[in-house]
Amino acid sequence: MRLYDRTFASRLMLGTALYPSPAVMRAAIAASGAEIVTVSLRRESAGMRQDGPGFWDEIRDLGVSFLPNTAGCHTVKEAVTTAQMARELLGTDWVKLEVIGHPDTLQPDVFGLVEAARILSGEGFKVLPYTTEDLVVAERLLAAGCEVLMPWGSPIGSGLGLNNRYGLRSLRARFPDVTLIVDAGLGRPSHAADAMELGYDGVLLNTAVASAADPAAMAGAFRLAVEAGRTAYEAGGMEPRDMAAPSTPVFGMAVLA
């Protein structure tokens, strides 16, 4: 999976929120095979006041890459300031950019998103924007300097899977050379496989793993699903048909009068 100037073997990215304990989180990340984990600077910085810097040490010990995100930001100013703080704290110019526009669906504010992406790209950030599957918004984000797009599958934490397969398929067809990551709403490994079979480059998820009865086992299941979906896409799956088609040829077979 190619993200800006780096290549990763794993196509699965994992969030770090909601786990019942740091040990469970570590086990899940290890089982997932993920090389990138997302971290909410605002949430974890608040937690550090109570728990100390242990969270950051837990992540660093795994040898994975940080992708700070601007989760919880509802304005351009909030998102840009949070990204700047993350760069200072973590020493990375990568950021998963979120500008939330609706409190119930957590749908991105695409107008603010494009503006924040333009500002941060101008400051040298490598921006991975959490967006919708809208083609016009995608064009604007690419023009703003983004080289990766992260359209939602469905609302964050909903577990609904791919709500708009047509839109996601259209986005993939319109931008064949852009790295596309399905982000949010994936609740089952089959949802991840579905996204990969559409030709997406990767998936990012959190709640489906963190809230499972056995997060490590679920993370392993998602790992296999992503690998299977990508392999199926590269192998070239059959298109659905309206009518039956025999798999056994009738030519040369005996015909009884």
Q: What is the pLDDT of residue 237?
A: 81
Residue 171 confidence (pLDDT) above 50: yes
Asked if 117 contacts 108 with a C-beta cutoff of 8 angstroms, the reply is: no
Residue 156 confidence (pLDDT) above 80: yes
**Residue whose entry in the numeric block shows the structure tokens 């997060």:** 215
Residue 46 confidence (pLDDT) above 60: no
Cα–Cα distance for residue pair 24/36, rounded to 1 Å? 17
Residue 243's contacts (CB-CB under 8 Å, 6 or more residues apart) are none
Residue 250 confidence (pLDDT) above 70: no
Among the listed residues 11, 96, 126, 140, the single catalytic one is 96
Percent of the chain predicted with pLDDT > 90: 75
In 3D space, the residue among 7, 69, 52, 12 whose CA is nearest the CA of residue 36 turns out to be: 12
Q: How large is the C-alpha radius of gyration of the chain?
A: 20
> What integer is the mean pLDDT of 134-156?
97
The first and second tokens of residue 226, run together, are 């992503």
pTM: 0.88
Lowest mean pLDDT among 31-40, 134-143, 166-175, 238-247: 238-247
Planar angle of CA 106, 100, 190, nearest 5 degrees = 45
In 3D space, the residue among 94, 103, 171 whose CA is nearest the CA of residue 132 turns out to be: 171
Mean pLDDT of the chain: 90
Cα–Cα distance for residue pair 53/31, rounded to 1 Å? 24
In 3D space, the residue among 129, 239, 237 whose CA is nearest the CA of residue 193 turns out to be: 237
Cα–Cα distance for residue pair 229/232, rounded to 1 Å? 5
Report the relative pairing of strands 6-7 and 94-97 from DSSP bridges: unpaired
Please check if 207 is assigned to a binding site.
yes
Q: What is the pLDDT of residue 135?
A: 97
CATH architecture of 2-235: Alpha-Beta Barrel (3.20)
Q: If residue 131 lies in a helix (H) or strand (E), which one and from where to where? A: strand 126-131
pLDDT digits 0-9 by tens, 113-139: 999 999 999 999 999 999 999 999 999
Neighbouring C-alpha atoms within 13 Å toward the C-beta of 87 = 17
Identity of the residue numbered 237? G
In 3D space, the residue among 39, 205, 130 whose CA is nearest the CA of residue 196 turns out to be: 205
Please check if 206 is assigned to a binding site.
yes
Q: What is the pLDDT of residue 90?
A: 85
Distance, first Cα to last Cα, the chain: 59
pLDDT category at 48 given cuts 50, 70, 90 is: very low
**Residue whose entry in the numeric block shows the structure tokens 């998602």:** 222
pLDDT category at 47 given cuts 50, 70, 90 is: very low
Neighbours of 80 (CB within 10 A): 22
> Domain spans of the chain?
2-235
Point out which residues pair with 120 in neighbouring strands: none
Cα–Cα distance for residue pair 2/11, rounded to 1 Å? 9
Any catalytic annotation for residue 96? yes
